[in-house]
Amino acid sequence: MQAAGWAGKPWAGRAAGLARRLLDLLLPPRCLACGELVEEQGRLCAGCWSSVGFLLGRGCRVCGLPLPPVAAEAAICGHCQAASPVYARARSALRYGGVARQLILRFKHGDRTDGATTFARWMARAGAELLGDCDLIVPVPLHRWRLLQRGYNQSAVLAQALGRRSGKPVLVDALVKLEATPSQQQLGAEARRANIRPELFALGRRGRAAVDGRRVLLVDDVLTTGSTTDACATCLIAGGATAVDVLTLARVAHDPSEPI
């Protein structure tokens, strides 16, 4: 019979609860966006929660870009009609800007990886069909120097959290970035496209065998012009992937020529 602890809980559960309370005393839980104190780690305060822009409405059936309410159920946006992306489908949980922008900047540059479980839950809801159809989850890679500088790849953190939630396999080194490029953050659409080219990416040592014959879900933090996701999808398909879908935490839903 399993030993039970205080209040009828197993000892392991009691110890985990005590550890969480001790951690909260040492590092009080703070809002993932603004830093205000909250009740639990990995949460938003009431103000930020009410302001975060979830993408809940109808979107382009290819890229997920929000469409006007009058758009047809299976409508494709003008961008995808003019030039189809390499990936098959893309979905995102949040509209980039405001609170969502604060969330991502803190996650990406402020070591707030404690939000990954929460972010993965939002992403899994937004991309449920994509997650259900995929055979393998692959993050957009960082160049090794950027990875060394930052200490972690935010896209890999999201991919691993999605893998834990869905039970789908994750290969964080399926793709590698061969050259360091300037940060995309302050670049407009044309500069972004010039900055990112398919030849910047290659399959890693284990990547070719892993992606061959599989439908891949490519994970990133933000979808802007699609230049990065298209470059990665091109590499994955050339390596034998049957199709590539894209799931991101947020997407730019305004004019992508504006810097973010």
Q: Which CATH number fits domain 52-251: 3.90.105.10, 2.40.180.10, 3.40.50.2020, 3.30.70.240?
A: 3.40.50.2020
Question: Region 105-116: what's the mean pLDDT?
Answer: 90
CB 138 within 8 A of CB 218: yes
Report the percent of the chain where pLDDT is more than 70: 78
Q: Amino acid identity, residue 240?
A: G
**Closest residue by Cα to residue 91 from 52, 133, 128:** 128
pLDDT, one tens digit per residue, over 5-59 is 434 445 554 554 555 555 555 578 889 988 899 988 888 999 999 999 999 877 8
CB 45 within 8 A of CB 32: no
pLDDT, position 180: 72
Domain ranges of the chain: 10-46, 52-251
pLDDT, one tens digit per residue, over 198-224 is 678 999 999 989 999 999 999 999 998
pLDDT, one tens digit per residue, over 57-88 is 778 999 998 887 766 666 898 888 888 999 99
Close Cβ partners of 39 (under 8 Å, ≥ 6 residues apart): 29
Decide if pLDDT at 105 tops 70: yes
Tally helices (H) and strands (E) across the chain. 11, 6
Decide if pLDDT at 186 tops 70: no
pLDDT, position 190: 55
Report strand pairing: 243-251 vs 175-177.
unpaired
Question: Region 107-128: what's the mean pLDDT?
Answer: 93
Report strand pairing: 201-203 vs 243-251.
unpaired
pLDDT, position 39: 87
Q: What are the E-state strand segments in the chain?
A: 89-95, 136-139, 175-177, 201-203, 215-223, 243-251
Kindly report the average pLDDT of the chain as a whole number: 84
Report strand pairing: 243-251 vs 89-95.
parallel
pLDDT, position 96: 93
